Structure 1
Amino acid sequence: MSTTQKLAQNTLVQIIGKVIATIFGLAALLMMTRYLGAEQFGWYTTVISYLGFAGIIIDFGMIPVTASMLNETKFNKEHLFQNLLGFRFVSALLFFLIIPTIPLFVPFFGNYPQEVKTAILFTSISFFAITMNQIFVGYHQTKLQMHIQAIGEVIGRLFLMVGVFLLILGNATFLPFMWVVAGASIVYTLISYGVTRTQTNVRFRFDAPIMKAIFTKMWPIAIAILCNVIYLKGDILLLAKFHTQTDVGIYGAAYRVLDILTQLAMMIVGIFLPLLAFHWTRNNKDFFKKYLQQAFDALMIFILPAIVGIIVIADDIVAFFGNEEFIASATPLRILAIGLFGIYLGAVFGHTAVAINKQRATLWIYASNAIITLIGYLIFIPPFGMKGAAWMTVFSELYAGILLFLAIWYYSKTRLNFITFLKAIIATAVMGITLTFCTSLNIVALIIIGTGVYGGVLYAIGGINKTTIKQMLSIKKQQ
């Protein structure tokens, strides 16, 4: 089977898996928002944001580091995998033994409800599982076996959906919902672990030369991620400090919708990263450009209509997910949707920086972004609340995405074409205009109409290549 066919099948499987997992996740989110209400959903958002803040710090870019290093030829792949796993376990264990206890003692978190502090303690188990799963995901990315990740995520989300449903039937309080959230992540990680065990020897190794190479590859990414966490999670944490948990819940509901689209960006780019690293290290510049172009086109084709669609039907999206308490979420949702363009640019070119070993050269982008955005949060969140947080978040995402694009353009000397991008803009404009005349319809009808119009126009003007579609649907092996 050709690499293109494997890539296409991985993409197709991941998209199908992501769609199913998203449906389960949205069902769970829908039930939780309606059952918990704005204030307690604010508790949930605060817990997830605090631990997400911690999780991003300890992330160290382990998925791209694993995928990239396992496609290099310097070390024995099994030994390298075992060292990556050992490093991940020790660092995550130490980190998650300390971070969850901070809100109990630090005055900054004094206004957090006791339920939030308690939930942070045990929900940290969920984030420990997620950090361990990063190594398994990176391993399967290198083998183009992303169906394993898709299956694990679907089962984890199914566990979450069923668990939330049963808790609602039992009139449960807030904390049991957080146990279910933790359980879903653990289930996903155990599936990844079980499958990986059948393919390689899953154990810890601590070899000094390999550990040094891991650290050398990782530290610029780790610092970049440390800067990222300020503008990715700082808005919600500061909103929780200066405003009510109800405001956090309203803002968080909008954020959760966009989180799904952000995860999809990382999923798609994760498929391309091993190929980018493989061809760059072997000086196959034509293939490198080919896959970078495909990654860019794929993300732009998806995100442009999503941005416009969210802006046009934000009221319907909010009404679908929540009760009357969440109507105000439509405003931050529209604002935050603009930032998705920057997130998707950053996903493509941030991962490409790892593939071409330019993490250090792009570090200034993340550092300057963190400083500017933190200052902006402190200036605008206290007086303007959700709107101040949302607009500064949009600024930070566009700032990072555009500068990363320019940096990769400069360092890789790869010149992408924007024909497909421009055609996607045209199709998106037609879709947006069409939707503005259909706002009286329900959300399902709007999504169907929007998807049909966008896809039809894009296909008609050649934005989607017919040959590529046929190859993506082909499952025949090359002789």
Structure 2
Amino acid sequence: MLFSQLIWASVVGNLILLGLTYYFVAKLIKIKLEVDRQYIKTLFKHALPYGLALILNRFYFKIDMVFIQWVSGNHQAGIYAVALKLMEIIAVIPVFFMNSALPELTNSFVNNKKRFNDLISKCFRYLSLIGMPIMMGGIAISFALTFIITSPQFLSGYHCSNDIRELHQTQEMAALQCPQVHLDKTFSMESAHSFEYFYGSDVALQIVLVAIFFVFLNSLFGFCLVAMGKQSKLLKINFYCLIFNVLTNLAVIPYYGFVGAAFTTVLSEILILFGTYFYVKKFTGYVQKLGETLKIGLISLIMAVAVSVLFGVLYPIMQNIATLVVILFGVVIYVLMAVRIGVLDIDEFRKIV
């Protein structure tokens, strides 16, 4: 019943969004429903490659979950699903950013190629400014982040065979405590010992966060191809990436489980980056300089180390609240460092978005 209510809530929410959008657009322009076959044909011709590219992208994004469940079982699939869901949520950020920048990119590509290249450079810098600290900071506190949104059975550590929700971080403690744990048929696992170590969603998240950084950059060059009217190239890139992803997952998942799938996701995003950048450079002559990116990487690393140290100090005192505190602390010191070294201009950022 609850699931059905959620579905209907989504439907109603989207209908309200449609109504509000129509209302505000109608105040700006006159809306008239009319069938224009020639326009529909032209629109379909230009939109189809991009639509197919998005479908392929979603397919490769989800296919590893199917393979993990098929080869390694529901347990590993559940562990990987946590990291993948976080990746889906965070991946919305660069899409929102580039949706804001797309009209200006399209206009400048047609009228001012130098302006177009300058916009790419600025968007690359700001997407790096957002994506890099998410990657490094997230890796630094991945265990804490995973613990907040999941249960102990999803975390890395020594899990008691009678109840995998019983978690210990040292073998000695597990050997002492696990034999005393009562059997829970729902959360027990088959094992020759009273405990077993396995990697959890926090490890999957650490690897997937690397992929997320490349997702940020891929959004830039993917939107650039759309602005240039080269959607067919994006379709080609995603097609080859899908083949690579499927073949690699089939090869590594039987041996490495969700860890292999996570690394495959990273490699897939890197391939997309190479492909999209190659075509942007080919058609515009744009060359990406990495000096500012290295600076961003340095301050992100400093922030991540500071956050990790502070979390170690605060967690015994504040427990899960420490995670929220160190995130806020990390954001503040990162922004201050970014402004200080000149890679963040607040006014410029506002103009782009």
1:300 matched residue in structure 2: 128
1:275 matched residue in structure 2: 104
1:389 matched to 2:214: no
8 Å contact kept, 2:140–2:305: no
1:178 matched residue in structure 2: 3
2:330 to 439, 450, 459: 450
Q: Aligned ranges for residues 411-426 of structure 1 at < 5 Å?
A: 411-426=283-298
Q: Aligned ranges for residues 12-411 of structure 1 at < 5 Å?
A: 176-198=1-23, 199-200=25-26, 205-281=34-110, 283-327=111-155, 328-411=200-283
Query: Which entry has the higher C-alpha Rg, 1 or 2?
Result: 2
Q: Aligned-residue CA RMSD in angstroms?
A: 2.3
Deviation, 1:271, is: 0.6
Deviation, 1:335, is: 0.9
TM-score (norm 2): 0.77
8 Å contact kept, 1:346–1:400: yes
Deviation, 1:405, is: 1.7
- Give the 3 Å change call, closer, same or farther, for CA 188–284 of structure 1 in structure 2: farther
8 Å contact kept, 2:307–2:327: no
- Give the 3 Å change call, closer, same or farther, for CA 371–251 of structure 1 in structure 2: same
Deviation, 1:433, is: 2.4
* Secondary structure in structure 1 of the residue aligned to 2:102: helix
8 Å contact kept, 1:430–1:453: no
Question: What amino acid maps onto 1:421 in structure 2?
Answer: T
What CA distance in whole angstroms lies between the structure 2 residues aligned with 1:457 and 1:390?
Answer: 31
- Give the 3 Å change call, closer, same or farther, for CA 468–410 of structure 1 in structure 2: same
* Secondary structure in structure 1 of the residue aligned to 2:144: helix
8 Å contact kept, 2:140–2:308: yes
Question: What amino acid maps onto 1:449 in structure 2?
Answer: F
Deviation, 1:203, is: 7.2
Deviation, 1:358, is: 1.3
Deviation, 1:209, is: 0.9
Runs of 5+ consecutive residues of structure 1 not aligned to the other structure:
1-175, 474-479
* Secondary structure in structure 1 of the residue aligned to 2:286: coil
Q: Percent identity among equivalent residues?
A: 23
Runs of 5+ consecutive residues of structure 2 not aligned to the other structure:
156-199, 315-321
8 Å contact kept, 1:345–1:405: no
Deviation, 1:403, is: 2.1
CA deviations over 1:190-233 (Å, ceiling 9, x no partner): 23211222223667644221121112212222332343233211
Deviation, 1:338, is: 0.8
| Bigger mean CA deviation after superposition, 315-324 or 363-372 | 363-372
What CA distance in whole angstroms lies between the structure 2 residues aligned with 1:431 and 1:304?
Answer: 11
8 Å contact kept, 1:279–1:288: yes
8 Å contact kept, 2:50–2:234: no
What CA distance in whole angstroms lies between the structure 2 residues aligned with 1:345 and 1:235?
Answer: 22
